[in-house]
Amino acid sequence: GQSLEQPSEVTAVEGAIVQINCTYQTSGFYGLSWYQQHDGGAPTFLSYNGLDGLEETGRFSSFLSRSDSYGYLLLQELQMKDSASYFCAVRGYGGATNKLIFGTGTLLAVQP
Amino acid sequence: GAGVSQSPSNKVTEKGKDVELRCDPISGHTALYWYRQSLGQGLEFLIYFQGNSAPDKSGLPSDRFSAERTGGSVSTLTIQRTQQEDSAVYLCASGYAVGGQTEAFFGQGTRLTVV
């Protein structure tokens, strides 16, 4: 099966940098994605790592290391509006693993 | 263009009643997912449709749950004989799910309350 573990909660202050980790146990998969979900809202796509290494999109960066079964989302220059839940996700190669599976989620609280 | 649309947005039903939740995906998307999210919890996979392939039903929690996707577009999730533990937000998402494409577009969900 596939499982993705994340810390349940992270707290940080405005302007700081925070890293949200995702460790996974899964067979082959295409890559690691990250989604953001504000309270009461729908999840929205943030980033995708198909290859190992760092992908940067503005204040957000995401990293993947397949050899370590590990990835993370890095948020810089935190703003109050970044307070939300963040989920990592994978989609496997075909067959029973082809569905998009989400991690346990991390609730980020940004404090002034 | 329009995003993923789900209806109703809220549904209150009595225990034991059947409910139908509807999802209109983004036109052209071949993949359609249903997830369940309880308050403060993660996204629990329920079922996945991809093109004309047989759906992956491995996440359906019991035989009271079923889903269909007609004409490769609209999907309906049916819960029979609802129980209080079925209360949750039911989220639908669509995407292409081809190769490394993993971006899924979510609807706003249906909040189901079983009383």
* Tens-place pLDDT, residues B46-82: 999 988 888 999 999 999 999 999 888 999 999 999 9
> How far is it, in rounded angstroms, from Cα A93 to Cα A62?
21
Token duo for residue A98: 């082809």
Q: Mark yes or no for CB contact B45/A87 under 8 Å.
A: no
Determine contact: B33 vs chain A, CB below 8 A.
yes
> How far is it, in rounded angstroms, from Cα B101 to Cα A48?
9
Q: Which residues pair with A101 in a beta bridge?
A: A90
Shortest alpha-carbon distance between residue B17 and chain A (Å)? 26
Q: What is the pLDDT of residue A25?
A: 87
Q: What is the pLDDT of residue A75?
A: 98
> How far is it, in rounded angstroms, from Cα B107 to Cα B4?
5
What percent of chain B lies above the pLDDT cut of 70?
A: 97
In sequence order, what are the residues at sequence separation of 6 or more whose Cβ sits closer than 8 angstroms to the Cβ of residue B46?
B33, B34, B35, B36, B59, B60, B61, B65, B67, B77, B90
Residue B19 has pLDDT above 80, yes or no: yes
Q: Say if residues B110 and B9 touch (Cβ distance below 8 Å).
A: yes
Token duo for residue A103: 């991690």
What percent of chain B lies above the pLDDT cut of 90?
A: 80
Q: What is the pLDDT along chain A (112 residues), one digit of tens a residue?
A: 678 999 999 999 999 999 999 999 877 788 899 999 999 999 999 999 999 999 998 999 999 999 999 999 999 999 999 999 999 998 877 665 678 899 999 999 999 9
Q: What is the pLDDT of residue A95?
A: 60
